[in-house]
């Protein structure tokens, strides 16, 4: 799933390590999220949205045609 995490992080001058600490995850998790290799849990997505003062939909770009949710 595509997302705007890297853009938001850089715009807010937050390092991957700082964001990882704030989310209580590893830096590797943030790297994987930014590269689209990992989909965030609903809890993590909510925490990221709160952190950046955005809606989940503003961070995660859901494409129904490409996602397999069955």
Of residues 34 and 66, more confidence is placed in 34
- Average of per-residue pLDDT values in the chain: 92
User: pTM (2 decimals)?
Assistant: 0.86
In degrees, rounded to 5, the angle at the alpha carbon of residue 44 between the alpha carbons of residues 41 and 45 is 85
Number of domains in the chain: 1
Is 60 exceeded by the pLDDT of residue 69?
Answer: no
Dist. CA 3–CA 58, nearest whole Å: 8
Which of 16-20, 27-31, 65-69 shows the lowest mean pLDDT across its residues? 65-69
Instruction: Report the chain's C-alpha Rg in angstroms.
Output: 12
pLDDT in the model for residue 62: 78
Residue 8 falls inside a structural domain:
yes
> Alpha helices, DSSP H only, in the chain?
5-11, 16-23, 27-34, 42-52, 56-59
Range of the domain at 38: 2-54
**What are the tens digits of pLDDT across the range 5-15?**
999 999 999 99
Residue listed under structure tokens 């600490």: 21
For residue 69, tell me if it sits in a domain: no
Per-residue tokens: 63: 């494409």
């Amino acid at each position: 799933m595509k997302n705007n995490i890297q853009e938001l992080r850089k715009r807010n001058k937050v390092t991957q390590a700082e964001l990882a600490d704030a989310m209580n995850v590893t830096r590797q998790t943030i790297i994987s999220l930014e590269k689209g290799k990992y989909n965030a849990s609903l809890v993590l997505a909510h925490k990221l949205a709160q952190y950046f003062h955005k809606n989940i939909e503003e961070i995660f770009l859901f494409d129904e045609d490409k996602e397999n949710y069955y």
